[in-house]
A and B are shown apart, each in its own frame.
Chain A
Amino acid sequence: MRTSLVALVLGLLVPAAIAHPVHTSIADADYNRATKKLEVAVRVFADDFEAALSAVSGKKISLERTPPAEFDALALRYLRERFTVIPTGSNQPVSLTWVGRELKDAANVVWLYFEVPLPGGIEGARLRHALLGEVFPDQLNSVRVRAGTRQVTLLFPPGQAERAVTFPP
């Protein structure tokens, strides 16, 4: 069977630094028992994220110049496509809700904040985290998931976008 192959068009890319490229993101995902929501904070490189949004929207997206409402809408659309949570016993990803973003410009970092309603809890849910993997083949994403005192850090290396949340005993 032939699968169609899509090349993404990018704006000018300025890689982060130094002789070895660095493509990583980190995240904290904390299950809030009171609200029954997973509270997620993802830290990505600002220029990497701009490149990804530019690719999906087909035009140059910039943290400085794109109107905030447009940027946020694009960011949310992108996150919904590439960061999904499938609750235990379900096949349907839960739609996440946007909370906000925060640019640490000098450090070339942007934090993305969003929530995922999970009435059934986080344990056993499946996380799909494919942020930036389509732009950087060596992208390494990781998430620390916590529920109360239990925690696990999940890694999403290239080619392994999905992981189930299981806490070590």
Chain B
Amino acid sequence: MPRRAPLPLQFAALLAFSASLLAFAASSVEKFQQLDQLLPSPSPQRTASGAPGAAYWQNRADYVMEASLDEKQHRLTGKGTITYHNASPDTLTYLWLQLDPNFFSHDADSRTLAKPPADLTKFPYRTLEEIVTAESYSSDLVVSDVKDATGRALRHTIVKTMMRVDLPEPLAPGAKVVFSLAWTYKLNPWKGSAFRTSYEVLDDGNSLYVIAQWFPRLAAYTDYTGWQHKQYLGTGEFTLEFGDYDVRLTVPDDHTVASTGALLNPDAVLTAAQRDRLKQAETAKAPVFIVTPEEAKALETHKPSGTKTWHFRAENVRDFAFASSRRFIWDAMGAAGHTHPPTPVRAGGVTDRMYRAPVMAMSFYPKEGMPLWDKYSTHAIVHTLDVYSKFSFPYPYPVAISVNGAVGGGMEYPMICFNRPRPETDGTYPKRTKYGLIGVIIHEVGHNYFPMIVNSDERQWTWMDEGINSFVQMLAHEEWEKDWPQSRDARTLTAYMRRTDRVPVMTNSESIADLGLNSYAQPAVALNILRDVVLGRELFDHAFKTYSQRWMFKRPTPADFFRTMEDASGVDLDWFWRGWFYSTDRVDLAIDQVRWLQLDSKDPAVEKPKTEADKKARPLTTTRTLNAELPKRIDRFPELRDFYNSHDEATVLPSDQKKFEALVKELAEAKIDPALLRTPRNFYLIDLANVGGIVMPLPLRLEFTDGSTEELKLGAELWRYHTGKCSKLIMTTKELKSVTLDPRDELADCDLENNFWPRRPVKTPFQLFRDEQEKNPLRELKKPAAPEAKK
């Protein structure tokens, strides 16, 4: 408990107090400064409010392609015509295309620049497999027949995973160019080169293909970076232009194909029964098998008699991926409340009578995926559409697909994603596989919104798709079941935030070693704190939806996100972005001290006895206690006593009284009620420190001696004069017992011990575990034996 100190009331004293605050304030406001020079200047393309500007433009690429899958050679061969629309104000003399299959060429940067294993005397079988595969497998991509619309050959130069096509005539602003090309490459095997795509040879020898980043794709040309021709090193996934795709995929005639886009020729590739089931599934309340497990099983030993061509069309997508196998089981369900095209919301609930097909949620998996996939995958897709659409915009595509394939964990493409988890071979699965699967499907289907539709640049900023998507994924988990085991939250993030070697979230994708924490967890936790602690749900949700809708089918940069969130919420958040996205600071707020102050009433009749009482209330020292018993001389010689021996220090002297009366008079002249001096309140000054660097709001819980509590939420603006120290004055009739900063432990505060006044030790995970261990035997001994569980 602090000692009470009288609060000086004289105006001069009060002024001196605030002046001293200002004096040390000037030294450190840097963490509260506006982002100014860190943000690009607003432009006619991107406004200062974070919206696309009047002169916003983006280029476009439309594709008409044919591809065939050779199952014996695991080879893909394709040709296509690309129409490139130059909406930019610039004249282009060449185009850049991404050749991602070159990721697996012998001399690819991904291989030659790979980090060697840390411990060369002992390293994983998988790494050995990769090194050996790198010797035997090369994608051997061959690009040929690069021609313009008139059949003239176009000069082109391959630069690793990029290709430059030189245009015979400069492409003027507003003009388009049509060119065609052909290509072929060996697909990458799951063993030794599984990445975002692969073919997996299942136990019975059949293959399962998940194919993406498989054709020469037009690189993005943007107002902020020109051509996005960063090499594909593996981490920065991709960024492309929107366009329409017309794709014919020729595969063995017993394969089932899952793909981006709507199937245009069901009559040619599906049986009548399958088409009926699809129709049924549109309004079904549970997933319906389109290809049943029995039908898929019957194909296990089947030999194809030829090929079939599946024809798909996808509009306004930034990429195109597909999967193919005779082993696929296929289930589908119409996503209730989601139509294609989306049903417009009209005032008064009136709508037109146009037929809009339900968005189909569909899952494709081999029998190895059961019993998990048939139970959860399609439901997880529909759940994702429900939650994500609520926070952003209606899902604009006809299908949303999840495919079980041999990829790292999960990988996203427009309308379709590939997800890895499977049950054990005996058909059981641990809890983590179940939550891992549902979580990864929500995550990958969620990527349809960010970055497939809100088209951020993955080769630049991983957090813009992974972080924002992980944040919405957490919201979707919360609506799947109560107490979903969130693996990314403020409390688990602290172990990462405490590290001093981190790089800012704003770092380029390829230079972030610990992406899972830096680009997924940190921004996701930051946005959740922004939503629930800083802005509140109403302001945040409006701002977030504004961002999503402003940039739907457009290409936002980080500044557009930061600016929109401020513009639409009406709250200056520069300090927040600065701390969480641009710095490597951490959150560590502390209560330095709490001072207890009471008003000095200046009335000697009140103050003098109080001062005396305080003096008397002080404890006696040992010396004085022991000496008290000693005989005293003035007791033996009473004549030695005088006035001072009996004078009460609390006595009000006439001069005291006169001084007080003068003050009361002075106050009256200044029209100040002298009763103010006797305000019966306690004043507490809570001194706070920002140890970790990130400026944050200050949620405080005050506990009083009468047992009552009060919660305060002080805005981060309290730090605006000095981002290292600030104080809060509390006036109360009660007596303060304790103060807790961040009482719900939700700010990712890296050191909780300094969050308590008075200080309170915080148990370590080790101590908590040990306490629990120590308690358990006792509890078990005292408890009557539990009856045998019935099997």
Residues of A whose CB lies within 8 Å of any CB of B are 3-10, 13-22, 24, 26-28, 30, 39-41, 43, 46-47, 55, 63-64, 99-100, 102, 104-109, 111, 113, 130, 133-140, 142, 144, 151, 153, 155, 157-161
Interchain CB contact (< 8 A) of B432 among A9, A24, A106, A158:
A106
Contact stretch, chosen from B218-226, B395-403, B497-505, B701-709: B497-505
Contact of B420 among A7, A8, A14, A158 (CB under 8 A): A14
Distance A10 CA – B126 CA, assembled complex (angstroms) = 8
Q: How far is the CB of B33 from chain A (nearest CB, A)?
A: 26
B637 within 8 A of A: no
13 more A-B residue pairs beyond the given contacts A6-B121, A108-B436, with a C-beta to C-beta distance below 8 A? A8-B123, A10-B124, A17-B443, A18-B443, A22-B515, A24-B517, A30-B766, A106-B431, A111-B765, A136-B124, A137-B115, A138-B513, A158-B118
Most chain A beta-carbon contacts within 10 A, residue among B412, B462, B515: B515
**Contacts A5-B121, A21-B409; A39 near B126 (Cβ below 8 A):** no
B125 at the interface (CB under 8 A from A): yes
- Answer yes or no: B421 CB below 8 A from chain A CBs: yes
Rounded to whole angstroms, the CA-CA distance of A55 and B444 in the bound complex is 30
- Whether A7 contacts B125 in the complex (CB less than 8 A), given A20-B515, A106-B432, A111-B765, comes out as yes
Stretch from B86-94, B141-149, B767-775 at the A interface: B767-775
> What separation, in Å, do the CA atoms of A154 and B344 have in the docked complex?
55
Report yes or no: B196 in contact with A16, Cβ–Cβ below 8 A.
Answer: no
Q: Digit string of B397-420 for contact with A (CB within 8 Å is 1, else 0)?
A: 000000000011111100000001
Contact of A19 among B410, B421, B500 (CB under 8 A): B410
Nearest 8 pairs of A and B residues by beta carbon: A22-B516, A158-B118, A26-B495, A106-B485, A108-B432, A159-B118, A41-B765, A105-B431
Beta-carbon contact of A107 and B432 below 8 Å: yes
- Does B54 sit at the interface, judged by CB under 8 A? no
Q: How far is the CB of A15 from chain B (nearest CB, A)?
A: 5
Given contacts A63-B430, A134-B119, A157-B513, contact A9 B125 (CB under 8 A): yes
Q: Flag if A19 contacts B501 (CB, 8 Å).
A: no
Q: Which residues of B contact A130 (CB under 8 A)?
A: 119
Residues on the A chain within 8 Å of B118, using CB:
133, 137, 139, 158-161
Q: Count chain B CB atoms within 10 A of each CB in A3, A16, A46 and give the residue with the most.
A: A16
Query: Given A15-B420, A46-B432, A64-B430, is A20 in contact with B196 using a C-beta cutoff of 8 Å?
Result: no
Q: How far is the CB of A137 from chain B (nearest CB, A)?
A: 4
CB within 8 A of B409: which of A5, A16, A55, A136? A16
Does B627 belong to the interface (CB within 8 Å)?
no
Contact B764 A30 (CB under 8 A): yes
Scoring B residues 111 to 130 as 1 if CB is less than 8 Å from chain A, else 0, what string do you get?
Answer: 00001111111111111100
- Which residues of B lie under 8 Å from residue A46 when comparing CB positions? 430, 432
CB-defined contacts of A108 to chain B, threshold 8 Å: 432, 435-436, 487
Pick the contact of A100 from B196, B515, B751, B773 — CB < 8 Å?
A: B773
Structural contact, B122 and A8, CB atoms closer than 8 A = yes
Q: Which residues of B contact A13 (CB under 8 A)?
A: 126
0/1 interface trace, chain B 481-492, chain A, CB 8 Å (1 if under)? 000011100000
- Whether B124 lies near A43 (C-beta < 8 A) is no
Q: Contact size class for B?
A: 35 or more
B430 touches A17 (CB 8 A): no
Residues of A within 8 A of B422 (CB): 14
CB distance from B531 to the nearest CB of A (A): 22
Q: For the complex formed, measure the closest distance between the CB of A90 and the CB atoms of chain B, giving whole angstroms.
A: 24
Least distance between A40 CB and chain B CB atoms (Å): 7
CB nearest to B121 among chain A residues? A3
Q: Are B440 and A17 in contact (CB under 8 A)?
A: yes
Q: Is the CB of A137 within 8 A of B766?
A: no
Please give me the residue from chain A that is nearest to B486 by CB atom: A107
* Choice from A16, A17, A153, A158 contacting B115 with Cβ under 8 Å: A158
The A-contacting residues of B in range 735-791, CB under 8 angstroms, are 751, 764-767, 769-770, 773
Given A14-B433, A18-B410, check contact A100 B495 (CB 8 Å): no
Given known pairs A7-B123, A106-B431, the reply for A113 and B766 (CB within 8 Å) is: yes
Q: Tell me the chain B residues, 422-438 only, with Cβ under 8 Å from chain A.
A: 422, 430-436
Inter-subunit contact B499/A8 (CB<8 Å): no
Complex: A8 Cα to B123 Cα, angstroms: 6
Tell me if B773 and A18 are in contact (CB < 8 A).
no
Instruction: Answer yes or no: B496 CB below 8 A from chain A CBs.
Output: yes
Nearest Cβ on chain B to A86's Cβ, whole angstroms: 18
> How far is A55 from B124 in the complex, measured between Cα atoms in Å?
9
- Would you call B237 an interface residue if the criterion is a C-beta within 8 Å of the partner chain's C-beta atoms? yes
Report whether B514 and A39 are in contact in the complex, using a CB–CB cutoff of 8 Å. Answer: no
The 0/1 profile, CB within 8 Å of A marked 1, for residues 513-551 of chain B is: 111110110000000000000000000000000000000
Q: Is the CB of B496 within 8 A of A26?
A: yes
| 11 intermolecular pairs with C-beta atoms under 8 Å apart | A5-B120, A10-B126, A14-B422, A19-B408, A19-B444, A24-B517, A28-B765, A40-B766, A99-B773, A102-B769, A137-B123
Cα separation A161 to B235 with both chains bound (whole Å) = 25
B408 touches A21 (CB 8 A): yes
Chain B contacts for A10, CB-based, 8 A: 124-126
A19-B412, A133-B118 as given contacts; A8 in contact with B431, CB under 8 Å: no
Across-interface contacts of B766 in A (CB, < 8 A): 28, 30, 39-41, 99, 113
B439 close to chain A: CB less than 8 A: yes
Give B518 Cβ to nearest chain A Cβ, in Å. Answer: 10
- Nearest A residue (CB) for B469: A18
A19–B237 CB distance below 8 A = yes
Q: How far is the CB of B8 from chain A (nearest CB, A)?
A: 34
Task: Flag if B410 contacts A7 (CB, 8 Å).
Answer: no
Does B466 lie at the interface of the complex (its beta carbon under 8 Å from any beta carbon of A)? yes
Note all chain B residues with C-beta closer than 8 A to A17: 409-410, 436, 439-440, 443
CB-contacts of B347-366 with A (<8 A): none
Bound CA–CA A138/B420 (angstroms): 20
A153, B498: Cβ atoms closer than 8 Å: yes
- Measured between C-beta atoms, what is the minimum distance from A135 to chain B in Å? 5
Contacts of A135 in B (CB 8 A): 124
Instruction: Give Cα A108–Cα B123 distance, bound, in whole angstroms.
Output: 23
Q: Name the CB-closest residue of A to B754.
A: A149
- Bound CA–CA A18/B412 (angstroms): 9
Q: What separation, in Å, do the CA atoms of A109 and B435 have in the docked complex?
A: 12
A107 proximity list for chain B (CB < 8 A) = 432, 435, 485-487
- A20 surroundings in chain B (CB, below 8 A): 235, 408, 462, 466, 515-516, 519-520
Q: Are B420 and A142 in contact (CB under 8 A)?
A: no
B412, closest chain A residue (CB):
A19
- Are B122 and A6 touching (Cβ within 8 A)? yes
Q: A111-B769, A134-B119, A137-B117 are in contact. Are A41 and B764 (CB under 8 A)?
A: yes
A39-B764, A108-B436, A109-B487 as given contacts; A18 in contact with B409, CB under 8 Å: yes
Query: With a CB–CB cut-off of 8 A, which chain A residues contact B501?
Result: 155
> Are A137 and B124 neighbours in the complex by a CB distance under 8 Å?
yes
Pairwise interchain contact A153-B500, C-beta atoms closer than 8 A: yes
Q: Which residues of B contact A153 (CB under 8 A)?
A: 498-500
A150 to B124, CA, bound (A): 37
Task: Say which residue of B408, B498, B765 sits within 8 Å of A15 (CB atoms).
Answer: B408
Q: Which residues of B contact A63 (CB under 8 A)?
A: 430
B411 in contact with A7 (CB, 8 Å): no
Q: What's the least CB distance linking B773 to chain A, in Å? A: 6
Bound CA–CA A18/B196 (angstroms): 10
Please state if A134 and B411 are interface contacts (CB–CB under 8 Å).
no
Assess whether A18 is in contact with B125, with CB atoms less than 8 Å apart.
Answer: no
**Smallest Cβ-Cβ distance to B422: which chain A residue:** A14
